[in-house]
Amino acid sequence: MQTTLEDPAGPLLEVRGLTKVFGTLKACEAIDLTISRGEIHALLGENGAGKSTFVKMLFGALEPTAGSILWKGRDVAITSPSEARRRGIGMVFQHFSLFDALTAAENIMLSLDDPAPASAVAARARDLSRTYGLPLDPNAHVGDLSVGERQRIEIIRCLLQNPELIILDEPTSVLTPQEADRLFETLERLRSEGRSILYISHRLEEVKRICDRATVLRHGRVVAECDPRRETAASLARMMVGDEVQPVIRDKPAAAREVLLEIRDLDRRASHPFAVPLAGINLAVHAGEILGVAGVAGNGQGEFFEAVSGEALQERPDAVRIGGKDAGRLDITGRRLMGAAFVPEERLGHAAAPFMTLSQNLLLSRHRTDARAFLARLGIIRGTIVARAAERISAAMDVRKAGDDPEAAALSGGNLQKFVIGRELDRQPRVMVVNQPTWGVDAGAAARIRQALIDLAKSGSAVLVISQDLDELFEICDAIAVMHGGRLSAPIPVAEATYEKIGLLMGGAEPGHAAAPMAEAV
């Protein structure tokens, strides 16, 4: 019998048979889930498992096809995000929606359903930042803030709505280990106040650390519920993918060989008001080596990738050298013709054209390097050969897709990432530069990508990996350098590195010194 009155002893949120259908695709099918008051509940699943669709229905961004949502025992219709916030549901998205040119307080004002004077918003934000240990200056311009500070804005503007349920999507993906620890303290305080948190993350160790219960989705259906504290990361991953996730196997680092990628005194002026200038960057990546570049997002990694890949040219030809030859004045195609391959951070729109098929994207990126194979006389495209190459890449990287040659936008993020990386690996490049190789990718796909990079290095190539995921860097790299404020530290061999040491460098500490204490909100 349906409950019509609020039951203070009952669950905060109960979902019954929630279903969402897009055409012939059931993104979510008959999902049942209960969130108790004062608990942190993990929502786990592979890419494409239905997590995003599910939380969008809870937050009013999508309308369910079938099923019901009970809020405090009452059957409710959540028709918009403003309706969700009015009922007490807040959400902090993985990708922030902030305006760089505005202050923190001005960004918060724009999200409030009930307008308030700027001074009042700033005062409330300052009070909340102190209460929950989230240091923030409401008058600081967002363009001047680190990614960790930007996330605090998102959390504080969510808390200003006084939510009883907070949905967090990959909240630690942009944080240093020290910042993540501070976030966990905040979440535990929120739980102690009786608030509930729905926590989405691919980082299974942190799920084990802070979550009380977990619900696992696979292909849009609930396949498991558990106490994550009683599971291992491997058993949680097995629930998510339905099989054992193969461990990444990395041999001992090889003896130093020839330098295949070299960066010499690289400087780059900021290309726009919110870009990070690069200063005095030196780096050498040897054959058979994987060198990692760690750092919190927004410290110059994007500008560094553009400089190395040829999207931004250098004034000095020898600022970038590939295979012992100057490449600083060559564009992307010129550097590819020298045997280099590049995978940018943004897979859809940068690494792949959304509304072109996989084979068309393959041709677009390799029409010069594979001209003899892909093009006949007079530039006629050998469509069959291109299609076979795209299928070969898909098979090698286990790209799961609907149809033989779908558009890039039709793939889930993880499957598109596997195709993009496979497209570059298929060339057997001498130098591979990858920015955020497993960003938002599930455990199974991440393991496949990481092993592919290790295997490429084993074959004698030089691999440069830019990543915010320290677990990833420690798992696959021979050495790790840290980028902060547009400068790069000297690489530290993995055998000598620790999470604390790398995390402090990510936070701006000088090598060999402790980080300065985090400033309090003013």
Judged by average pLDDT, the poorest of 30-39, 52-61, 96-105, 108-117 is 108-117
Question: 304: Cβ–Cβ under 8 A, 6 or more apart, which residues?
Answer: 266, 278, 281, 293, 466, 483, 488
pLDDT, tens only, 5-62: 556 668 999 999 999 998 888 899 999 999 999 999 999 998 778 898 999 999 999 9
Q: What is the pLDDT of residue 87?
A: 94
Give the 3-state secondary structure of residue 221.
strand
Q: What is the pLDDT of residue 478?
A: 94
Same fold, 1-78+196-244 and 259-339+429-506: yes
Amino acid at 326: D
CA dist., res. 183 & res. 512, Å (int): 25
Q: Is the pLDDT of residue 209 over 70?
A: yes
331 or 92, which is more confident: 331
Average pLDDT, the chain: 88
- Residue 520 DSSP one-character state: P
Q: What is the pLDDT of residue 8?
A: 66
Report phi then psi at 209, rounded to 5: -75, -40
Q: Is the pLDDT of residue 520 over 50?
A: no
336 or 110, which is more confident: 336
Q: What is the pLDDT of residue 142?
A: 87
Q: What is the pLDDT of residue 23?
A: 85
Q: What b/e string do you get for 439-472 counting C-beta neighbours within 10 Å, with b at 16 or more?
A: bbbbbbbbbbbbbbbbebbeebbbbbbbbbbbbb
Asked: is 1-78+196-244 a CATH 3.60.20.10 domain? The reply is: no
Between helices 118-131 and 104-111, what is the axis angle to 10°?
100
Q: What is the pLDDT of residue 1?
A: 38
pTM: 0.74
42 with 64: CB under 8 angstroms? no
Judged by average pLDDT, the poorest of 159-163, 189-193, 257-261, 506-510 is 506-510
250 with 417: CB under 8 angstroms? no
CA dist., res. 174 & res. 186, Å (int): 16
Judged by average pLDDT, the poorest of 44-58, 173-187, 207-221, 467-481 is 173-187
Percentage of the chain beyond pLDDT 70 is 93
CA dist., res. 64 & res. 18, Å (int): 7
- Take residue 134 and report the two structure tokens written for it: 């989230």
Q: Domain 259-339+429-506 is of which CATH architecture?
A: 3-Layer(aba) Sandwich (3.40)
Q: Is the pLDDT of residue 455 over 90?
A: yes
Q: What is the pLDDT of residue 519?
A: 43
Q: What is the pLDDT of residue 514?
A: 43
Q: Is the pLDDT of residue 121 over 70?
A: yes
CA dist., res. 498 & res. 489, Å (int): 15
CA dist., res. 493 & res. 487, Å (int): 19
User: Would you list the domain boundaries of the chain?
Assistant: 1-78+196-244, 259-339+429-506
Q: What is the pLDDT of residue 170?
A: 83
pLDDT, tens only, 489-515: 999 999 999 988 998 898 887 655 444
Q: What is the pLDDT of residue 253?
A: 61
The secondary structure of 490-516, three-state, reads CCEEHHHCCHHHHHHHHCCCCCCCCCC
Give the 3-state secondary structure of residue 363.
helix
179 or 381, which is more confident: 381
Measured from the Cβ of residue 262, the count of other Cβ atoms closer than 10 Å reads 20
Q: Is the pLDDT of residue 521 over 50?
A: no
136 or 33, which is more confident: 33
Judged by average pLDDT, the poorest of 79-93, 165-179, 261-275, 319-333 is 165-179
Q: Is the pLDDT of residue 388 over 90?
A: yes
The secondary structure of 152-198, three-state, reads HHHHHHHHCCCCCEEEEECCCCCCCHHHHHHHHHHHHHHHHCCCEEE
**Measured CA distances, 491 to 257, 434, 477, 504 (Å):** 16, 17, 11, 14
Q: Is the pLDDT of residue 518 over 80?
A: no
pLDDT, tens only, 397-440: 988 887 889 999 888 777 899 999 999 999 999 999 999 898 76
Distance, CA of 245 to chain centre: 20
